[in-house]
């Protein structure tokens, strides 16, 4: 099944009211940029409709045929002259310049539903992740658009999924879904993108999720960093959005500096791990080696699931690497299965955070995913998915991503206990990610988001 594509169209006024006023005040339909999500791309037809996958290929000059990808990438070398020597040489852009709205017409076009359906007649969240990734890239290209150039000299890729929070868990497969988004913060070579998802209910779009992605710009051959257009702020509201982007950057730096790969656990964390260790000692013996599980508990090592995928050309992005949305979907689906197997009932996604894209995945690679429960509390299950690749010629495995998913089960789940020091660090890392989650959501049983 091909990935979702986004199709440009013009919708009736009032159906998709621009959020935060970012697209207001413009009479030019191009400024409104409302898209449709469809299962497959088709030629330009009504209202100058353009498939977003085709639009992205047009922006970078990528070929639609795998056999032509080398030639297409060679042609991008000629775009180096359009790259700015510094950010000062680029014109500032407004938030409204990158604002885009996207419609997924599950209600008005029922033939599109199957790609997004689970067997329980709910919506696949893995497909939503793919759509968010494509939308984030397009938003950044709108921010950095060069009107004098047919193709963009920039190669824009996803660097980080900073946060996805569910603000409403009810999601019907029979009602239209809307996405919106814009650039909310820029550095010299990076951009933060805010995206929102809504669903039609009683003729109004109600919030479903908020997402924050970080994108980076690289040169035309995707070999080194490139400067992006600065952002000009036009209202106190936009200044607050930008300030939040600065805070998010600071939080990421602070969180990284406190990583358990760099720093020892805090005194409180060390005490908690030691208490867990003492709770697993066999009271019948006087030995540190004799370990027993407390009631309603599972060893962390017994919560693992693994998968293997071959990365075919069909899953490539516009730069002929494997599409980041595909990686997120596969990791999410394995994480969901892990939470389901652990909790004994269908889990529902609550939050996604801190997905760092450390290394691109080449077409033809073997993709190894390893998932395990690393923290639980009440009905919540924190799942960590580790992704690594190996080429067909080289057996060396290299880490590409680490994914963090927070699920909620319909019933209370067992406690998970680490047995080794390494597992104890995974437990603490999972606890940290869980603690960074927004306020817990209320579980609803009908039409919930699943893989």
Tell me the average confidence (pLDDT) per consecutive run of 10 residues in the chain, 451 residues long: 32 35 38 51 29 74 71 76 90 95 86 86 90 92 87 91 84 90 96 95 91 94 92 96 94 88 94 94 78 92 96 84 91 96 92 88 92 96 95 84 94 95 96 78 52 73
Dihedral of CA 93/96/97/101: which sign?
positive
Position 113 scores a pLDDT of 87
With contact defined as beta carbons under 8 Å apart, do 280 and 398 qualify? no
With contact defined as beta carbons under 8 Å apart, do 64 and 57 qualify? yes
What is the gyration radius of the CA atoms in the chain, in angstroms? 23
170 SS3 class: strand
370 SS3 class: strand
* β 190-201/123-124 pair status: unpaired
25 SS3 class: coil
Q: What span, in angstroms and rounded, lies between the C-alpha atoms of 385 and 404? A: 7
* Fold type of domain 267-438: Thiol Ester Dehydrase; Chain A (3.10.129)
Cα torsion at 80, 81, 85, 87 (round to 10°)?
-80
How far CA 69 is from CA of 62, 74, 138, 304, 370, in Å, comes to 7, 9, 20, 38, 31
| Residue 430, C-beta contacts closer than 8 angstroms, at least 6 positions apart | 374, 375, 382, 384, 404
- Closest among 215, 94, 85 to 162, alpha carbons compared: 215
Element (H, E) at 104: strand 100-104
DSSP code of 113?
G
Q: What span, in angstroms and rounded, lies between the C-alpha atoms of 10 and 48? A: 9
**Does domain 34-258 bear CATH number 3.10.129.10?**
yes
With contact defined as beta carbons under 8 Å apart, do 123 and 348 qualify? no
With contact defined as beta carbons under 8 Å apart, do 225 and 153 qualify? no
Q: Where in the chain is the domain with CATH 3.10.129.10?
A: 34-258, 267-438
């Amino acid at each position: 099944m091909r990935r979702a594509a986004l199709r440009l169209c013009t919708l009736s006024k009032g159906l998709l009211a621009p959020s935060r006023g970012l697209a207001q005040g413009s009479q030019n339909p191009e400024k409104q940029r409302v898209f449709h999500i469809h299962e497959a791309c088709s030629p330009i037809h009504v209202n100058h409709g353009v498939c977003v996958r085709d639009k992205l290929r047009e922006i970078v000059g990528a070929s639609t045929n795998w056999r032509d990808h080398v030639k297409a990438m060679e042609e991008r070398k000629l775009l180096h002259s359009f790259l700015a020597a510094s950010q000062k040489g680029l014109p500032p852009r407004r938030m409204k310049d990158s604002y885009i709205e996207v419609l997924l017409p599950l209600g008005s076009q029922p033939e599109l539903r199957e790609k997004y359906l689970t067997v329980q007649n709910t919506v696949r969240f893995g497909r939503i992740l793919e759509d968010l990734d494509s939308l984030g890239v397009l938003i950044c290209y709108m921010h950095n658009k060069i009107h004098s150039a047919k193709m963009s000299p920039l190669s824009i890729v996803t660097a980080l999924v900073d946060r996805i929070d569910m603000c409403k868990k009810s999601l019907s497969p029979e009602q239209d879904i809307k996405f919106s988004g814009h650039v909310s913060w820029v550095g010299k070579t990076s951009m933060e993108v805010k995206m929102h998802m809504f669903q039609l209910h009683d003729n109004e779009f109600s919030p479903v999720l908020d997402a924050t992605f970080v994108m980076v710009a690289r040169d035309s051959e995707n070999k080194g960093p490139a400067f992006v257009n600065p952002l000009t702020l036009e209202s106190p509201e936009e200044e607050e959005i930008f300030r939040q982007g600065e805070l998010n950057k600071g939080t990421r730096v602070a969180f990284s500096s406190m990583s358990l790969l760099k720093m020892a656990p805090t005194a409180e964390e060390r005490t908690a791990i030691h208490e867990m260790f003492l709770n697993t000692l066999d009271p019948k013996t006087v030995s540190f080696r004799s370990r027993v599980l407390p009631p309603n508990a599972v060893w962390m090592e017994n919560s693992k699931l693994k998968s293997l995928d071959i990365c075919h050309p069909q899953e490539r992005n516009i730069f002929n690497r494997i599409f980041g949305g595909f990686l997120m979907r596969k990791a999410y689906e394995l994480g969901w299965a892990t939470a389901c197997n652990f909790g004994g009932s269908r889990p529902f996604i609550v939050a996604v955070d801190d997905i760092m894209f450390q290394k691109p995945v080449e077409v033809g690679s073997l993709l190894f995913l390893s998932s395990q429960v690393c923290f639980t509390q009440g009905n919540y299950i924190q799942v960590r998915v580790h992704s690594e690749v190996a080429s067909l010629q080289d057996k060396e495995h290299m880490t590409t991503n680490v994914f963090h998913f927070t699920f909620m089960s319909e019933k209370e789940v067992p406690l998970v206990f680490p047995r080794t020091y390494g597992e104890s660090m995974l437990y603490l890392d999972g606890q940290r990610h869980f603690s960074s989650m927004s306020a817990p959501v209320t579980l609803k049983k009908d039409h919930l988001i699943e893989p």
